[in-house]
């Protein structure tokens, strides 16, 4: 099949296929007429690349899977090098999850502090002669400052 048909069947662009070819992930065979020529095995390689990229693998991380398929294995993840990539990716994802959990906890704590402060201001505003309810942004804009200039004053 030609490049346009392969791109269509794989749900990608001819530009992406040329890029994969330039990176050595897709073979660069030419027919006698000079056109790029692909077969079902190339479609299988491309589907492996696209599947891995869809779940967050970068292009270079797909190489061991492609090489595994090219070596004649029934699946791109049946080789030791592919399994090693899976392990590295899981370690990377675990680290990102840990970071996100930490960030979420900090944002939750900030929200709790902000809600407590807002509730305190609302309670003070209810007292006779208490301050008028407002927000930092409104207060700063009414006094000709940016909200950041007003912080800490």
Model confidence pLDDT, tens digit, residues 4-14: 999 999 999 99
Render pLDDT for 51-108 as a digit per residue (tens, 0 to 9): 999 999 999 999 999 999 999 998 999 999 999 999 999 999 999 999 999 999 999 9
For the whole model, what pTM was predicted?
Answer: 0.68
Regarding predicted confidence, which is higher, 32 or 99?
99
d(CA 140, CA 153): 11
Question: 129 falls in which pLDDT band (50, 70, 90)?
Answer: low
- Scanning 3-146, the segments in alpha helix (DSSP H) are 3-10, 14-22, 40-54, 63-70, 80-126, 136-142
120: left (phi over 0), alpha (psi -120 to 50) or beta: alpha
d(CA 11, CA 49): 12
Written as six digits, the tokens of 97 are: 């999850």
């Amino acid at each position: 099949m030609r490049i346009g048909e392969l791109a269509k069947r794989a749900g990608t662009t001819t530009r992406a296929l040329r890029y994969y070819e330039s990176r050595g992930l897709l073979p660069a065979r030419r027919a006698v007429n000079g056109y790029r020529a692909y077969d079902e095995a190339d479609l299988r390689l491309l589907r492996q690349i696209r599947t891995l990229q869809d779940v967050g693998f970068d292009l270079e991380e797909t190489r061991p899977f492609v090489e595994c398929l090219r070596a004649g294995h029934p699946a791109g993840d049946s080789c030791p090098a592919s399994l090693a990539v899976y392990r590295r990716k899981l370690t990377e994802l675990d680290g990102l999850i840990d970071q996100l959990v930490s960030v979420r906890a900090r944002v939750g704590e900030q929200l709790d502090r902000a809600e407590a402060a807002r509730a305190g201001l609302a309670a003070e505003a209810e007292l006779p002669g208490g301050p008028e309810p407002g927000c930092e942004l409104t207060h700063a804009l009414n006094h000709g400052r940016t909200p950041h200039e007003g912080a800490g004053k």
